[in-house]
Amino acid sequence: MVRQEIEKLLNDSIKKLNIDAQASVSFSFLPAICDYQSNSVFSIAKKTNEKPIDLANKIVKNIEESSFFKFEVAPPAFINIKLTQEGFNHYANILLRDERCGVKKLSNQKVLLDYGGANVAKALHVGHLRSPIIGESLKRLYKFLGEEVISDVHLGDWGLQMGLTELQLYQDGVLDYYFGNAKEEPVITLEMLNEAYPKASAKKNVDEKFKKDADEWTLKIQEKQEPYYTIYKKIRNVSVVQIKKHYKELGAEFDLWYGESDCDEFIPKALKIIEEKGLSKESDGATIVDVAIEGENIPIEKKSPDEVQRYKNPMPPAILKKYNGGALYATTDIATIMMRNADFKNLNRIEYIVDLRQSLHFTQVFRVCKMAEISPKDQQLLHIGYGTMNGKDGKPFKTRAGDTVKLEDVINLLIEKASEKLESNKVEYDRDLALKIGVGAMKFGDLSNNVGKDYVFDLDKFLSFEGKTGPYIQYTVCRINSILNKAQSEECEIHIDSEEEKDIINKIFKLNSAYEVCYKEKSLNNLCLATYELASSFSTFYNNHKILTEQNKNRKQSMLSLLKLVKKALLQALNVLAIEVPEKM
Ligand code: ARG
């Protein structure tokens, strides 16, 4: 709001000088000197063939008088802008009165967000942590900025792992009842699944027959043959209970609890369209679609005739049907796009928050959908690929024994470590409280990094109550709450009275502009940083001013109003980050 108003004043002046150019304004790089700055004069002076400093002076001289801003030229030709006392008071109270704290809506698009993506029958592991964290936050960001968002968990429930798990349970004698070989129906438990899948997955790599049989079982499930399909549904239910529990603990909420299996009726429809458009062909019994574009699959010259052909910029074809007719990952994703467009009209974007390492898969899926017009021309299909969560050794986070870490173990670790922290702060053990702090720490630690980058999972750092961490922000809000509870605050305007207070207002404007930056970058790191900077400015203010013991009533009430404003801005940001604030800590 402020930045745009300053920009307007500058540009009005430039227009008055009959110069055809636009100046832009940014937050100050030297906050001790000014609040905002413009570096545009240098490029404009090139156009008008003037000495930059002369032009800067002319522009500043021509700016319409404003009681809110002071413009100054700083050599060689910067324009520095400071808010006046009146300006700070004016904007602080606008922020205080506005229920969105001054953040404007900026889009009304309709978006479907695909995140979560847990796999049925497999235990959730640490690799499934980033998608619900980033996805939930992007969903809230988009909604906050005015978009209509539909979230779908898109469970992995139609692939080979189903056949593998069932076959293993069958071989272990668990499923005899369904094949008429036992009287009592078994209770399939999570423990059974957690054991069966890894066992089967290892076996398929060394036992060709087992792998082929698992393919057959998978196909029977996909064809809804009995008893395979009934058993599948039982396994799915057991798994989904656990998945729901974990997503709830992580604070991820979904509108749709669909899985790959739900697009089933669209698979033949999608394949038919693709075939009718002449896009698919047979290859070794499988159905494939060539998706390479110009500049891809350029043959690299072979040194000898029997050398395997290699390509520059390889782009393998999308495989839509296996040798036995079974559907694959790409098939369900394509059919799901068709289903989504049938279920929801006018989706502007479909976004996938999935590991960066799946980017080839999404390139293939998106290209098939565009070629076959399964996705309308103007619909954006986007893969927001996230980097890997590494251990302190810089390698993907594993247990000491080198196994993948189960999500359950991560959540328990978060609770345990947060409890230790609370204990050292003399707060008695409370699982929910520890979960809020632990998960908050984890989320902030994750979201503080650019989505596409790998990062190090360092729980001790994430859980610190000081520095750029989730608990520090949570603690700041708790501290404000405690002051507001102790004081009797009344409705009162804010009168800015110190440099620390000015800094707080500037930090709120910076925070407000971070929403748009995050929206464009599809990454929350800017919001994390700006939230931290506001909390940190608040701490400085709090340490330098006595609030509860302030004798001047007006001054005290003004400071309390400022606290309310800071709290509102922090809570608004934490809500987008999907980080809850505990009552105490
Ligand atoms: N289940 C997949 C996995 O674990 C993730 C699903 C992502 N979403 C999608 N539409 N492909 O890798």
Q: What is the pLDDT of residues 288-311, one digit of tens each?
A: 999 999 999 999 999 998 999 899
> What is the chain's alpha carbon radius of gyration, rounded to the nearest angstrom?
29
Q: Which residue's CA is the closest to the ligand 1 atom numbered 5? A: 117
Asked: is 109-386 a CATH 3.90.226.10 domain? The reply is no
Q: Which atom of ligand 1 is nearest to the CA of 361?
A: 11
Contact 46, 55 (CB under 8 A): no
Q: Whose CA is nearest to atom 7 of ligand 1?
A: 117
DSSP string of 391-433, one letter each residue: -TTSSB-B-TTSPBPBHHHHHHHHHHHHHHHHHHTTPPP-HHH
Residue 571 has pLDDT above 80, yes or no: yes
Distance separating alpha carbons of residues 196 and 189, to the nearest angstrom = 11
Nearest CA to ligand 1 atom 10: 333
Which option is the CATH number for 407-576: 1.10.760.10, 3.40.720.10, 1.10.730.10, 2.60.120.10? 1.10.730.10
Name the one residue in this structure whose structure tokens are 């698009």: 109
pLDDT tens per residue, range 89-134:
999 999 999 999 999 999 999 999 999 999 998 888 888 899 999 9
Question: Where do the domains of the chain lie?
Answer: 2-83, 109-386, 407-576
CA of 453 to the centre of ligand 1 (A): 19
Task: Say how many Å lie between the CA of residue 433 and the centre of ligand 1.
Answer: 31
Which atom of ligand 1 sits closest to the CA of residue 156? 1
In whole angstroms, how far apart are CA 249 and each of 133, 296, 501, 527?
A: 11, 44, 37, 23
pLDDT surpasses 80 at 399: no
- Using the atom order of ligand 1, give the atom closest to the CA of residue 127: 4
Q: Which residues pair with 119 in a beta bridge?
A: 156
Q: What is the DSSP letter of 20?
A: -
Nearest atom within ligand 1 for CA of residue 260: 10
Lowest mean pLDDT among 459-468, 497-506, 567-576: 459-468
DSSP SS3 for 457: coil
Residue 313's pLDDT band (boundaries 50, 70, 90)?
A: very high
Name the token pair of 244. 């729901």
Q: Which atom of ligand 1 sits closest to the CA of residue 336? A: 10
Residue nearest to atom 3 of ligand 1 (CA): 117
Quote the ligand 1 centre to 52 CA distance (angstroms).
55
Comparison of pLDDT for 81 and 401, the residue scoring more: 81
pLDDT attached to residue 485: 94
Q: Which fold has domain 2-83?
A: Gyrase A; domain 2 (3.30.1360)
Q: Which residues line ligand 1 (CB under 6 A)?
A: 114, 117, 119, 154, 156, 333, 352, 354
- Three-class SS string for 247-304? HHHCCCCCCECCEHHHHCCHHHHHHHHHHHCCCEEEECCEEEECCCCCCCCEEECCCC
Question: In angstroms, what is the span from residue 365 Cα to ligand 1's centroid?
Answer: 12
Token pair for 200: 């089967």
206 Cα to the center of ligand 1, angstroms: 26
User: Which H or E run includes 320?
Assistant: strand 318-321
| DSSP-derived secondary structure for 103-170 | PPP----EEEEE---PBTTSPPBGGGSHHHHHHHHHHHHHHHTT-EEEEE--BB-SSHHHHHHHHHHH
pTM of the model: 0.94
pLDDT of 152-170, one tens digit each?
999 999 989 999 999 999 9
Q: Note the pLDDT tens digit of each residue in 53-66.
A: 999 999 999 999 99
Q: Which of 124, 126, 134, 154 to mutate to test the pocket of ligand 1 (most atoms within 8 A of CB)?
A: 154
Mean pLDDT of the chain: 95
Distance (angstroms) between ligand 1 centre and the Cα of 156 equals 6
Residue with tokens 């559907």: 327
Going by CA atoms, what residue is nearest to atom 11 of ligand 1?
A: 333
Label residue 363 by pLDDT band (50, 70, 90): very high
Interval between CA 117 and ligand 1 midpoint (Å) = 5
Calculate how far, in angstroms, residue 152's C-alpha sits from the geometric centre of ligand 1: 11
Query: In ligand 1, which atom is closest to the CA atom of 128?
Result: 4
CB 372 within 8 A of CB 178: no
